[in-house]
Amino acid sequence: MTFTGATVEVHGHRGARGLRPENTLPGFAHALALGVHAVEFDVGLSSDDVVILSHDQVLSPVTTTDTGPVLAGDPRFPYVGKALRDLTLAQIRTVDAGTRRPGGADDEFVLTQLQLPGTPLPTLAEVCALLSAVPDVTLAIELKTDPGWRDQEITRFTAEVAEVLAAFGLTPRSRLLAFDWRVLVEARRYAPEAGRVALVERATTGAGTRWLAGLGHADPAGAALDIGATSLSPEITMATPELVERAQGLALPVSVWTVNEPSEMARYVGYGVDAIVTDYPDRLRGVLTDHGLPVPTPYPDVLSMQT
User: Looking at residue 306, what is its pLDDT?
Assistant: 60
- Could you report the per-residue pLDDT of 129-172, keeping only the tens digit for each? 999 999 999 999 999 999 999 999 999 999 999 999 999 999 99
Q: Place 204 in a pLDDT band, splitting at 50, 70 and 90.
A: very high
Q: Which domains does the chain have, with CATH numbers?
A: 9-293 (3.20.20.190)
Contacts of 135 (CB under 8 A, 6+ apart): none
Beta-bridge partner residues of 275: 9, 255
pLDDT over 70 percentage in the chain: 97
Asked if pLDDT for residue 5 goes beyond 50, the answer is no
User: Looking at residue 198, what is its pLDDT?
Assistant: 98
Task: Identify which of 191, 220, 190 has the alpha carbon closest to the alpha carbon of residue 205.
Answer: 220
Range 252-280 average pLDDT: 97
8 Å CB contact between 151 and 163: no
- Residue length, the chain? 307
Range 49-76 average pLDDT: 97
Range 190-194 average pLDDT: 98
Q: What span, in angstroms and rounded, lies between the C-alpha atoms of 279 and 260?
A: 6
Contacts of 307 (CB under 8 A, 6+ apart): 132, 133
Asked if pLDDT for residue 124 goes beyond 70, the answer is yes
This model's pTM is above 0.85? yes
Range 171-184 average pLDDT: 98
Asked if pLDDT for residue 307 goes beyond 60, the answer is no
Range 18-37 average pLDDT: 98
Range 232-256 average pLDDT: 97
Which residue has better confidence, 5 or 25?
Answer: 25
Range 101-129 average pLDDT: 92
E strands along 73-209, which residues? 138-143, 174-178, 195-200
